[in-house]
Structure 1
Amino acid sequence: MDDREQRWAQMMQAALAGDQPAYEQLLREMAPAVRAVVRRRLSRLGAPTGETEDVVQETLLAVHLKRHTWRSADPIGPWLWTIARNKLVDHLRRRGRRVEVPVENFADILPAPEERPDTAAADVQRHLALLPEKQQAVLRAVAVDGASIGETAERMRMTPGAVRVALHRAFASLATLLRTDE
């Protein structure tokens, strides 16, 4: 495991123990790394690199929602890159493109860990219901329905920037609610 992944693993362990500053720093460090990988892969696949930020946001949302699935005994890199790969493939599929990603591109990545069965849809709905209406709508559109930032902006008559802000605020509110719920 390289130094960066070791640092990320330590920050994730701290975050899972309730250290919010460590979690925020982890996401700040992961974002540019994910952005570079996604942009490169979109380019290789002939897809517009302008869609990079949508995939990065979807990946960070998935990291947030699935952080409890990371096993501290496992390296964090393969877990993160599997999430990013899956979000990239999902993103391209929603655009109606057939995606065939060569296995060689991900030879060093382990399969995603199985989801824990105790994470019920009812819990997700309960937490979402506690968010303000606009944040709920944006989070549902992007995270649940799989809409892009652009599609959500158009559907909700907002700018893409306003959607990203609402999504970020929804994450922050959701993180606070989940912390107090635990």
Structure 2
Amino acid sequence: MNGREDKELADLLRASIAGDERSYAVFLDRTARLVRAYARRKILQGGVDPEDIVQETLLAIHLKRHTWLPDAAVLPWVYAIARFKLIDAFRRRGRHVEIEIAEIEETWAQPEAETVSDRDIGRVLDSLAPGQRSVVAAIAVEGCSIADTARKFGMKETAVRVALHRGLAAIARRFGRE
């Protein structure tokens, strides 16, 4: 804390309380810079925006400027208000820390992709009854819709759904995933 700076700010605040709007604008501008630097030093992990602290502090100073004692130093009063606004912001945030996904996505383990060869797919499909095999292959392998598969094989959509369900259930039973 600089004694000269404190005296200048105190003079500006006294003049502003007396009605000097220009002094008040200079006081708020200089105070905003000091509070911004203070908030940035205190906010280490994020989750609280320093500009929010600046705005809340300036608003509190404006509303409570009549409580400042003209004979007292102004900077301790300003920093006390900023400190309480910072504490309030941390309380509102709670214990939750917000982190951008882009900042940590490289550290996440990537799931291992299970690759299934055409031979494996053929072996699984060969274990099915012919009707189920054609329906499961059309929908699961070729990506056809239920309606397209029904038209392709001359079946009703309900029959396609039943064949698909039974075929997938048979595959699950065969590979122990019921």
Name the TM-score, length of structure 1 as normaliser. Answer: 0.50
Contact 2:68 2:77 in 1 (8 A): yes
Q: Give structure 2 stretches of 5+ with no counterpart.
A: 97-178
Aligned to 2:26: 25
- The alpha carbon displacement at 1:96 in A equals 1.4
Give the AA of the match of 1:32: R
C-alpha separation in 1, matches of 2:17 and 2:59: 16
Aligned to 1:14: 15
Count of aligned pairs between the two proteins: 95
- The alpha carbon displacement at 1:8 in A equals 0.2
Q: Give structure 1 stretches of 5+ with no counterpart.
A: 99-182
C-alpha separation in 2, matches of 1:6 and 1:53: 25
Give the AA of the match of 1:64: H
Contact 2:47 2:93 in 1 (8 A): no
Give the one of 44, 53, 56 matched to 1:55: 53
Give the one of 70, 93, 96 matched to 1:95: 93
Aligned to 1:66: 64
**1:112-144, CA deviations, whole angstroms, 9 ceiling, x for partnerless residues?**
xxxxxxxxxxxxxxxxxxxxxxxxxxxxxxxxx
Give the AA of the match of 1:53: E
The answer to whether the aligner puts 1:79 opposite 2:82 as a matched pair is no
- The alpha carbon displacement at 1:47 in A equals 3.1
- The alpha carbon displacement at 1:2 in A equals 1.1
**1:41-88, CA deviations, whole angstroms, 9 ceiling, x for partnerless residues?**
011xx3346x11011100000010010000011100110000000000
Over aligned residue pairs, what C-alpha RMSD do you find? Answer: 1.5
Aligned to 1:35: 36
SS for the counterpart of 1:32 is helix
Name the TM-score, length of structure 2 as normaliser. Answer: 0.51
Aligned to 1:128: none
- The alpha carbon displacement at 1:33 in A equals 0.8
Aligned identity (percent) is 44
Structural mapping, 1:124-143, within 5 Å:
none
